[in-house]
C-alpha cells in the first residue's frame, strides 16, 4: 500500500532535534530521506549520551529519537568533490531541510536562491532560533528559547523558573516545519514551483502558548507560574491522596457536582463559594484544602477507579514507563521494532485509514549509505541530465 509521500525525496541538512525530527516525520509518511552528516563526526546528537545505543559510544538514544528511516551520507561541504554531491542532491530533491547559521549554506552554493535556481520545484525549509532578520545571528537552542520566550516563567512553582522536561520548543517547531512543508508541497501542485518555508523556535513557542498568550494580549498582564494549577479552571490540577497525587480535570459545573458527590461532599456544589467556575477559581485555596482532606482517606488507585466510574477525567501521576504501559493497555501499540539488536522506537502518532504508516527502519550508522546515495545521484544524473 502506498504512503502519502511515496516518491518524495528529502535532503536533510539539519542536525540536533527540530530539523531531524521533521525529516523523520516525513520519512514515516513515505518520503525517502537522505541525511547529510559531517565526515567522521556526524550529527551532534550522536555524541549526546548516555544512554548509548552502540557499545563503542558512537551513537546515542538521543540521536535515534529523531533519525529513523533515513539514509546517512557523509559530505564535507568544504571539499569540492563532496560539495558537488551535495549540489546534485539539492538539485534532485523535493524538500531540503536546514538549520545552519544564517549565510553558512550560501557560502557553499546551497542557500535557497542558489538551490531554487537549479531546482525551481524545491520546498526549502529553514529552521532558525529567532528568524532570518534581526535575530539571524542569535544562537537558537531550545533551553534558551524556553527562557527568553516566557515558557519557563509559567512553568513550575512560583519563585523558580523551570524548563519543560523535554526539548518541547524543538518538538513544536519540528511539527510547524512539517505543516509548512506539506502545505508548500500541496501548493506546488497549483502554482508549479516550490517556495522557501521558514520557521523559528521563538515564533513556534509563542504560537503554542494558546490561552496564556491570549490572556497576556487581552489584559497586558504577563501570566506567572502556578505549578500544576490551571489559570482559568478549578479544580483542574494535581491533588494529594493517601499515597500519591491524582490529576483531576473538572471543566464545568456538572462535572464539579459529580466530583463533590464522589468524594463524599455532595453539598459542596451548592456552596456559594463554588457555585460557578469563576467562584471556584476565586476560592481555589479553600476548595483544594477541602478536596485534599477528603482524598487523604484512600489511595490514588482507589480514587481513580471511583472517579472514572462517575465519568470524571482523573488519573494517577505516573512515570514515562507508566505512560507507555497505559498506551499498550489501551491498544495504542506505542512502540515499533526497527530491527534485531536495535532499540525500539516510538510509533508514529498518525493513524491514517487508507495510507497507514507501515514501514520503519533503524536510524542509520554514520555514513552507512555513502555508496548507495552517490550511486543513486549518479544514476539520476544520467537519466535526467541537465
* HEC per residue, the chain: CCCCCCCCEEEECCCCCHHHHHHHHHHHCCCEEEEEECCCCCCHHHHCCCCECCCCCCCEHHHHCCCCCEEEEECCCCCHHHHHHHHHHHHHCCEEEECCCCCCCHHHCCCHHHHHHHCCCCEEEEEECCCCCCCCCCCCCHHHHHHHCCCHHHCCCCCCCCCCCCCHHHHHHHHHHHHHHHHHHHHHHHHCCCCEEEEEHHHHHHHHCHHHHHHHHHHCCCCCCCCCCCCCCCCEEEEECCCCEEEEECCCHHHHHHHHHHCCCHHHHHCHHHCCHHHHHHCHHHHHHHHHHHHCCCCHHHHHHHHHHCCCCEEECCCHHHHHHHHHHCCCCCEECCCCCCCCEECCCCCCCCCCCCCCCCCCCCCCCHHHHHHHHHHHHHHCCC
The confidence score (pLDDT) of residue 381 equals 61
The confidence score (pLDDT) of residue 220 equals 97
Contact at 8 Å (CB) between 77 and 110?
yes
pLDDT along the chain (386 residues), means of 10: 91 97 97 97 93 82 96 96 97 97 92 98 97 87 96 93 96 98 98 97 97 96 93 95 95 95 94 95 96 96 95 94 96 93 91 90 94 88 58
Q: Which of 170, 253, 293, 337 is catalytic?
A: 170
The confidence score (pLDDT) of residue 1 equals 63
For the domain covering 9-208+350-383, report its CATH number: 3.40.50.10540
Active site residue 170: yes
The confidence score (pLDDT) of residue 358 equals 85
- Which residues make up the CATH 3.30.1540.10 domain(s) of the chain? 236-327
The confidence score (pLDDT) of residue 317 equals 94
The confidence score (pLDDT) of residue 54 equals 80
Give pTM, 2 decimals: 0.91
- Which residues make up the CATH 3.40.50.10540 domain(s) of the chain? 9-208+350-383
The confidence score (pLDDT) of residue 136 equals 86
For the domain covering 236-327, report its CATH number: 3.30.1540.10
Amino acid at each position: 500500500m502506498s504512503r502519502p509521500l511515496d516518491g518524495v525525496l528529502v535532503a536533510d541538512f539539519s542536525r540536533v532535534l527540530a530539523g531531524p525530527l521533521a525529516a523523520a516525520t516525513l520519512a514515516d509518511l513515505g518520503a525517502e530521506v537522505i541525511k547529510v552528516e559531517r565526515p567522521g563526526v556526524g550529527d551532534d546528537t550522536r555524541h549526546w549520551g548516555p544512554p548509548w545505543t552502540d557499545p563503542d559510544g558512537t551513537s546515542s538514544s538521543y540521536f535515534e529519537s529523531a533519525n529513523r528511516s533515513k539514509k546517512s551520507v557523509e559530505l564535507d561541504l568544504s571539499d569540492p568533490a563532496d560539495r558537488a554531491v551535495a549540489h546534485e542532491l539539492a538539485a534532485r530533491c523535493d524538500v531540503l531541510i536546514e538549520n545552519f547559521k544564517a549565510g553558512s549554506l550560501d557560502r557553499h552554493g546551497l542557500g535557497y536562491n542558489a538551490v531554487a535556481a537549479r531546482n525551481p520545484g524545491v520546498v526549502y525549509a529553514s529552521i532558525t532560533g529567532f528568524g532570518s532578520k534581526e535575530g539571524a545571528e542569535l544562537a537558537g537552542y531550545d533551553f534558551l528559547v524556553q527562557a527568553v520566550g516566557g515558557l519557563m516563567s509559567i512553568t513550575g512553582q512560583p519563585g523558580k523558573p523551570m524548563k519543560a522536561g523535554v526539548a518541547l520548543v524543538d518538538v513544536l517547531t519540528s511539527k510547524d516545519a512539517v505543516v509548512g512543508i506539506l502545505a508548500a508541497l500541496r501548493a506546488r501542485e497549483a502554482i508549479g514551483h516550490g517556495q522557501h518555508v521558514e520557521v523559528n523556535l521563538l515564533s513556534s513557542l509563542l504560537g503554542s502558548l494558546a490561552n496564556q498568550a491570549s490572556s497576556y494580549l487581552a489584559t497586558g498582564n504577563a501570566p506567572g507560574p502556578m505549578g500544576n494549577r490551571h489559570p482559568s479552571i478549578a479544580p483542574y490540577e494535581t491533588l494529594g491522596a493517601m499515597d500519591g497525587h491524582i490529576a483531576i480535570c473538572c471543566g464545568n459545573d456538572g462535572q464539579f457536582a459529580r466530583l463533590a458527590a464522589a468524594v463524599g461532599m455532595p453539598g459542596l456544589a451548592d456552596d456559594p463559594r463554588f457555585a460557578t467556575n469563576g467562584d471556584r477559581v476565586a476560592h481555589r485555596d479553600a476548595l483544594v484544602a477541602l478536596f485534599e482532606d477528603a482524598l487523604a482517606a484512600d489511595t490514588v488507585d482507589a480514587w481513580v477507579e471511583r472517579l472514572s466510574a462517575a465519568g470524571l477525567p482523573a488519573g494517577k501521576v505516573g512515570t514515562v514507563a507508566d505512560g507507555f504501559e497505559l498506551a499498550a493497555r489501551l491498544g495504542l501499540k506505542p512502540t515499533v521494532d526497527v530491527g534485531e539488536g536495535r532499540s525500539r522506537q516510538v510509533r508514529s502518532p498518525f493513524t491514517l485509514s487508507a495510507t497507514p504508516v507501515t514501514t520503519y527502519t533503524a536510524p542509520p550508522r554514520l555514513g552507512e549509505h555513502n555508496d548507495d546515495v552517490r550511486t543513486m545521484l549518479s544514476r539520476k544524473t544520467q537519466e535526467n541530465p541537465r
